[in-house]
Amino acid sequence: MMNMLSINIFQNWLEQTHGIWYVLVLAGIAAIYLGFFAVAGLMLVYLERRVAGYFQLRLGPNRVGPWGLLQTIADALKLVSKEIFIPKMADKLLYKAGYYIVIIAALLALAVIPFARQIQALDFNVGLFFISAVSSVGVLGILIGAWGSRNKYSLIGAMRSGLQMISYELSAGFAIIAVVLMAGTLKMTGIVEAQKHTWFLFQGHLPAIIAFMIFLISGTAETNRVPFDLVEGESELGAGFHTEYSGMGFAFFFLAEFINMFIISALGATLFLGGWLAPFGITDGLPAQWLWGMIWFLLKVFVLIFLLMWFRWTFPRIRIDQLLTLEWKYLLPVGLVNTVIMAWIVWKDWLIHLG
């Protein structure tokens, strides 16, 4: 039913240890993920700045450290050293709970992502459903934090976030259902193994490509990134839902946004691009398959992250009515019809199987 850790050596440790050692192993696993969480967040912030500089015909960070690599670390140290100001009228419990909920939701979703064969914290038969469930909890952190701030602009941003999340989850759900129909399982590793010969992006003909496009658009909206960043809307709401946050409180929200972008890209790579599987099996049979699998997985994730960053520095922010029109009048009907067509293709066994 569930492997608490799919890496063989750690799985053996968990099976052979008891009492305090079992707790220590679990704490070690949690520390690994927290470390990855922090490092990946810093790397993505740096990458965002470099990509922004490229698209805007400027250099980006280039002074602090070689190629500006230490700029993000300097900014992180600045945020850590800043005093956390809590508004006088704020509800302190809700104010602090907001960013903790956002961080925990991102960590739980990250735990189910398979980075390579047998490198995954949680692998159980409803893994995809689990990710969909816990990723929906993140918006509660935004709503709670904004409500606890007692700031009208924060509350407006949080209300937009709830509306946006509820709306675009439907289209993302239909895109995911199309993959589940092809894979026949909700288990993350099972979905990857089902793409052993052909990625789902190509197995399902045009409906699979449409599902992939809907997933990317909906994922961009669910991570509150441009052109769907009405939740922050600096020109309208100051900083939106995190207007009243400073120091590490703001840093947690900021970090969670980038990790959520990584999760959406990792989920897209797993569902549509074969996860850790090498294209055309070009590295199959080589030693250290787990390492090759991780390399291919991260390369696919990087391509999707670059695409999401490309969106940010290409499209302007849309209005709230345009956001809802896109979802309810276009993406949702197209996703529904596309899912029906995919079900027909799977029923007739018309999927493409190469190799």
* pLDDT higher than 70, residue 15: no
Question: What is the band of 337 on the pLDDT scale with cuts at 50, 70, 90?
Answer: very high
* pLDDT higher than 80, residue 256: yes
What is the pTM for the complete model shown? 0.92
Dmax (CA) of the chain: 65
Q: Could you tell me if residue 87 is left (phi over 0), alpha (psi between -120 and 50 degrees) or otherwise beta?
A: beta
Q: Could you tell me if residue 280 is left (phi over 0), alpha (psi between -120 and 50 degrees) or otherwise beta?
A: left
Q: Please spell the DSSP secondary structure of 142-186, one letter per residue.
A: HHHHHHHHT-HHHHHHHHHHHHHHHHHHHHHHHHHHHHHHHH---
> What tens digit of pLDDT does each residue of 191-239 get?
999 999 899 999 988 999 999 999 999 999 998 888 998 887 776 777 7
Q: Which residue has the higher pLDDT, 260 or 18?
A: 260
